A and B are shown apart, each in its own frame.
Chain A
């Protein structure tokens, strides 16, 4: 007779959490991003300056006790603008990630489950979109959509779904042949049931990892667009358009705090989110414990 273990062994989710908790890079990422989020979300409650307040007595002043990160050319507080820029960058990143995750999931799942022709057509389209470097499409789409928060969200989400749809498709192609899906089809399940009852729960790990990494990616895309003057238009603050100010030589040379702080915030946020995403991917990978 087989010996019984006294306690039930932990399930896959618990083991994934355990692996994540032992990943030092991922914990570093959490340790950076959580305080950053708290600062960004709570700053209007405790910081004296608003992002668009003009302090005429302190234009282009360096970091001081009143203005921690200094002020910009019209006397706006850089600390407040970095935090406000973080709000806008994160809003754009999260909104575009949600939209592109929905598009990517639906396209990938329909492509896997709806039959050969749909599959061939959508996947050739995905190939096509993925040929060109993303920045090029970003520019073409931006030239059509214009500047502002929602056009930027639209542009980034339209650009980002193809990779996800490929991953979802390959997962569901495998799932389609499994017995419980066959049984469900045999009992007359429609496409909607297959998508949301079987497809979604079985690809949730892909979606979580994609969403995390895509937030970092979207922050970079937004910053790049705004840096070129095509994303978030001033006077709204964003990390990218604050860096755009440094394209003037005077700002670059004489007032480095005006672009170093948003640049630093950008790199820190992207790095931290990427560490978390990599950690999640390793944590969800069932092969991780074999090594």
Chain B
């Protein structure tokens, strides 16, 4: 078990380094010289001064040397400075955006798990009923509608027409901080973000439940007189949830993709909005820093999913 976890950890670290190389290369291949972003265009500089500055900054070195120099700084927490936001350090910019994104994605995940598992179980138990059919249609719609469109429709219905929720932001500007205000702003974007994940979880739970309900141990439980509710909630559901756990880990990518759109529609001050703004203004240090941190999070979540799965399902061959 320990050996398995360690090996997965090593692979994860290798992936992260390779990812940083890939992104470093991609961004150094961009048209334009990094020096242009560094200098003030209003102060004229001679070519000799420019080349001095270039060698001072190490930009005349070969790419691998530049990469190692960059990596050494990155490991100590220096991810460079934003070009467009008054030279703020990238690390603190990104770190300040993590909490809102985690809050949004975490609440969406909790909603998706609850909604997905409950509807999935109901659909499987009442197979081919009206409820099953309507949940399945809803899941199909949830999987096939792109997050930006469902965000717009949700905004139109709940914020504009019904006026139940504010149309954007995380807190009311100028008002004093309160949990109620935060929740009021959080519910709608989180619910919209959870749709795609809930739909996937529902489909998987339904399929997995249908399979488990035919197993011998479920028949045994019924035969020995266990109440139907407990047969489903305990004997069947606990086993049916095993494959769903891995699914939840692998939908994290989907959720990050969705969060980028939801954050930019709802003006939610998270990583997604930061990244989109950085791409719009071609703020390469911020693009690179936030991509790396998102990549690190995805790799860590995948690692945790693999390890959790090995812990809860002893049938997985470890090694």
A residues sitting closer than 8 Å to B (CB atoms) are 124, 127-129, 131-136, 139-144, 220, 223-224, 227-230, 243, 246-247, 249, 252-253, 256, 259, 263, 266-267, 270-271, 274
**Given that A128-B19, A224-B148 are known contacts, is A143 also in contact with B287, CB under 8 Å in the complex?**
yes
B261–A227 CB distance below 8 A? yes
Q: How far is the CA of A270 from the CA of B140 in the complex (A)?
A: 12
CB within 8 A of B156: which of A139, A143, A229, A252?
A252
A223–B148 CB distance below 8 A? yes
A136–B295 CB distance below 8 A? yes
B15–A128 CB distance below 8 A? yes
User: What are 12 sample pairs from A and B whose C-beta atoms fall under 8 A apart?
Assistant: A128-B22, A131-B15, A132-B253, A133-B257, A143-B284, A143-B287, A223-B146, A227-B261, A228-B276, A247-B265, A270-B146, A271-B144
Q: How far is the CA of A140 from the CA of B311 in the complex (A)?
A: 36
- Chain A contact residues, majority secondary structure: helix
Distance (Å) between the CB of A239 and the closest chain B CB? Answer: 9
A132–B265 CB distance below 8 A? no
- B298 contacts the other chain (Cβ, under 8 Å)? yes
CB within 8 A of A224: which of B145, B256, B261, B279?
B261
B residues sitting closer than 8 Å to A (CB atoms) are 15, 18-19, 22-23, 26-27, 29-31, 144-146, 148-149, 152-153, 155-156, 160, 167, 252-254, 256-257, 260-261, 264-265, 275-276, 278-280, 282, 284, 287, 291, 294-295, 298-299, 302
Q: How far is the CA of A243 from the CA of B264 in the complex (A)?
A: 13
A229 partner residues in chain B, CB cutoff 8 A: 280
16 further A-B contacts with Cβ under 8 Å, apart from A132-B253, A139-B279, are A124-B18, A128-B18, A131-B15, A131-B302, A132-B19, A132-B294, A132-B295, A133-B256, A136-B295, A139-B287, A139-B291, A144-B29, A227-B148, A228-B264, A247-B264, A247-B265
Closest chain A residue, CB of each to CB of B282: A143
- Chain B contact residues, majority secondary structure: helix
Q: How far is the CA of A246 from the CA of B23 in the complex (A)?
A: 32
Q: How far is the CA of A259 from the CA of B280 in the complex (A)?
A: 22
Distance (Å) between the CB of B282 and the closest chain A CB? Answer: 6
B22 partner residues in chain A, CB cutoff 8 A: 128-129
Q: How far is the CA of A127 from the CA of B18 in the complex (A)?
A: 11
Q: How far is the CA of A8 from the CA of B257 in the complex (A)?
A: 51
Distance (Å) between the CB of B152 and the closest chain A CB? Answer: 5
Distance (Å) between the CB of A82 and the closest chain B CB? Answer: 14
B23 partner residues in chain A, CB cutoff 8 A: 140
CB within 8 A of B149: which of A132, A133, A141, A266?
A266
CB within 8 A of B253: which of A133, A228, A249, A267?
A133
Distance (Å) between the CB of A163 and the closest chain B CB? Answer: 13
A246–B152 CB distance below 8 A? yes
B146–A224 CB distance below 8 A? yes
A270 partner residues in chain B, CB cutoff 8 A: 144, 146
B144–A267 CB distance below 8 A? yes
Distance (Å) between the CB of B257 and the closest chain A CB? Answer: 4
A274 partner residues in chain B, CB cutoff 8 A: 144
Q: How far is the CA of A256 from the CA of B157 in the complex (A)?
A: 11
Q: How far is the CA of A132 from the CA of B145 in the complex (A)?
A: 22
A271 partner residues in chain B, CB cutoff 8 A: 144
Distance (Å) between the CB of B261 and the closest chain A CB? Answer: 7
Q: How far is the CA of A141 from the CA of B282 in the complex (A)?
A: 11
Q: How far is the CA of A144 from the CA of B30 in the complex (A)?
A: 6
Closest chain A residue, CB of each to CB of B11: A127
A259 partner residues in chain B, CB cutoff 8 A: 152
B146–A127 CB distance below 8 A? no
Distance (Å) between the CB of B246 and the closest chain A CB? Answer: 16
Q: How far is the CA of A247 from the CA of B280 in the complex (A)?
A: 16
B18 partner residues in chain A, CB cutoff 8 A: 124, 128
Which 10 interchain pairs have the tightest Cβ spacing?
A135-B257, A133-B253, A143-B279, A133-B256, A227-B148, A133-B257, A263-B149, A144-B30, A253-B160, A139-B279
CB within 8 A of B298: which of A131, A142, A243?
A131
A230 partner residues in chain B, CB cutoff 8 A: 279-280
Distance (Å) between the CB of A150 and the closest chain B CB? Answer: 15
Q: How far is the CA of A271 from the CA of B260 in the complex (A)?
A: 22
Closest chain B residue, CB of each to CB of A142: B279
Closest chain B residue, CB of each to CB of A135: B257
A129 partner residues in chain B, CB cutoff 8 A: 22
**Given that A143-B284, A144-B27, A230-B279 are known contacts, is A135 also in contact with B156, CB under 8 Å in the complex?**
no
Q: How far is the CA of A230 from the CA of B252 in the complex (A)?
A: 24
B26–A243 CB distance below 8 A? no
**Given that A131-B299, A228-B264, A263-B152 are known contacts, is A136 also in contact with B146, CB under 8 Å in the complex?**
no
A263 partner residues in chain B, CB cutoff 8 A: 149, 152-153
A132–B298 CB distance below 8 A? yes
CB within 8 A of A243: which of B144, B148, B260?
B148
A140–B156 CB distance below 8 A? no
B167 partner residues in chain A, CB cutoff 8 A: 249
A143 partner residues in chain B, CB cutoff 8 A: 30, 278-279, 282, 284, 287
Distance (Å) between the CB of A143 and the closest chain B CB? Answer: 4
Most buried by A among B19, B167, B253, B284: B253
Distance (Å) between the CB of B157 and the closest chain A CB? Answer: 11
B257–A252 CB distance below 8 A? no
Distance (Å) between the CB of A123 and the closest chain B CB? Answer: 13
B299 partner residues in chain A, CB cutoff 8 A: 131
**Given that A227-B261, A230-B279, A252-B160 are known contacts, is A136 also in contact with B291, CB under 8 Å in the complex?**
yes
